[in-house]
Amino acid sequence: MIETAFYLCIAILVYIYFIYPLFLYLLSKQVKYSKNIGCCNGYKTKVTIIIPAHNEEAVITNKIKNCFEQDYDHKLLQVIVISDGSTDNTVKYSKETIKECDANIDFKLLEVNERKGKTNIINKAMENVDGELTIFSDANVFLATDAVTNIVYAFADDTVGCVAGQLSYINEDTTATVQSAGVYWYYEEFIKYQESITGSMMGADGSIFAIKTRLFQPLPLYVLDDFCTSMNCIFQGYLLVFDPRVRAFEKSAEKNNEEFRRRVRISNRCYNSFLWMKNSIFAMSFFNVFKFVSHKLLRWYTFLFLLLVFVLNVVGYYLNESTAFQYLLLLQILFYLSALLGTQEKIIRKLGAVGKFCNVTYYFVSANFATMIGIIKSFQGIKTAVWNKAESTR
């Protein structure tokens, strides 16, 4: 019984991280991919860019200028900056920058004095949207000059309700934390792309994604706005697609403690979002439910399977004293020791390939530990709505 449970947990972990991505990849090769091929390049419509901001004085000037540098027709572009109780110069710098930019763009600066979090100001910003399409982009994310144009091209396909872009980190070589986050992000975007080719991906990232404005539905303040807004498009019968032509760039968190806190917060909000949307999620098509369970739900519980594998391995070794249990327990101990070593950045820099492996194992273990904390907080009824940004991402 113990041996069966042990190998079953290992099989689930292998499925989550290897078999599911491989299955999607092989399936995508059998699909004639017809979405987002840019065959309707003459399609144009009014577009709104929403920029949520809380104390973003370090980046807001460049962010606004980045919007004005888009090669899309400025007369069809609306930009809304909405401040979530900013106490620095975010509003002041926004006003100054607006005066310097193209007056053809419809620009709105909104101020919310009572800080209630990003989801709250997204709800309020959407009340002022004039565009047929709405783009959501964080203040520290900078878009390629053709990003808006490519988003509009993607929506020329009437079956598309939401488009997510490709995010790249601009500081990948700075610290071990960023390097590991970069590896994880490439892996994630590979899965998203394969999901998109075979239908819809399971949720967009808030750095850069867009929806048909009429599909937006106001959200509870404690849920993850990007996850829920993008999934809502699927619930309404549209596709959520990944378009690698839509490019965006940002700095990743450079410190372990910043990245860990970010993962805890995102995990808590993700799981609370799941609880809020679960009826709609399990009402999707069988294939979409399969993708959601494989990519999201099982992944969130990786920490539980890792814990079970270790405990069952120890118990199985002491009860059976088999060679297989002995070697597998040794491998697990070495794995977690490498993760522990991954916390010592000065040491692992000198270890070459071994050091990079330790980076990845540390990121994997800490990310799953953070997910565990976030989900436990959700079970405790904790609903994170407001948080402080990672300073190293600005």
Does the pLDDT at position 36 exceed 50? no
Percent of the chain as helix, strand, coil, to the nearest 5: 55, 15, 30
State yes or no: pLDDT of 28 exceeds 80. Answer: yes
Confidence of residue 393 (pLDDT cuts 50, 70, 90): low
Contact 317, 326 (CB under 8 A): yes
**Helices 353-379 & 256-281 angle (0-180, nearest 10):** 50
Nearest to 45 by CA among 126, 154, 196: 154
- Is the distance from CB of 109 to CB of 81 less than 8 angstroms? yes
Answer whether residue 35 shows pLDDT above 60: no
Q: Stretch 170-176: mean pLDDT, rounded?
A: 60
Which residues neighbour 161 within 8 Å (Cβ) at sequence distance 6 or greater?
A: 211, 212, 215, 233, 234, 236, 237, 238, 239, 240
In Å, how far from its chain's centre is CA 361?
20
Strand blocks (E) in 24-76: 47-53
pLDDT surpassing 80 at residue 106: yes
Total Cβ atoms within 10 A of residue 381: 7
> At residue 84, does pLDDT exceed 60?
yes
Which segment of 105-109, 137-141, 331-335, 344-348 scores lowest on mean pLDDT? 344-348
DSSP annotation of 18: I
In CATH, 47-255 is 3.90.550.10? yes
Work out the average pLDDT over 218-226: 95
By mean pLDDT, which of 68-72, 345-349, 356-360 is the weakest? 345-349
> Mean pLDDT score of the chain, rounded to an integer?
89
Give residue-wise pLDDT tens across range 228-243. Answer: 999 999 999 999 999 9
Supply 49's token pair: 């860019």
Q: Mean pLDDT throughout 100-127? A: 91
**Chain centroid, CA 49 distance in Å:** 18
Measured CA angle at 191 (ends 186, 195), to 5 deg: 145
What is the rounded average pLDDT of the residues 101-126? Answer: 91
pLDDT at 156 over 50: yes
Q: Are strands 133-136 and 239-250 parallel, antiparallel or unpaired?
A: unpaired
Backbone angles phi, psi at 77, to 5 degrees: -120, 130
Cα distance between residue 290 and residue 357, in whole Å? 31
Q: What is the percent of the chain with per-residue pLDDT over 70, rounded to a whole number?
A: 89
CA–CA gap between residue 78 and residue 95 (Å, rounded): 15
For residues 189 and 24, is the Cβ–Cβ distance under 8 A? Answer: no
CA dist 371 and 265 (Å) reads: 9
Q: What is the mean pLDDT of residues 341-365?
A: 78
Over residues 274-294, mean pLDDT: 97
Mean pLDDT of 306-314: 95
Which pLDDT tens digit goes with each residue over 204-216? 988 899 999 999 9
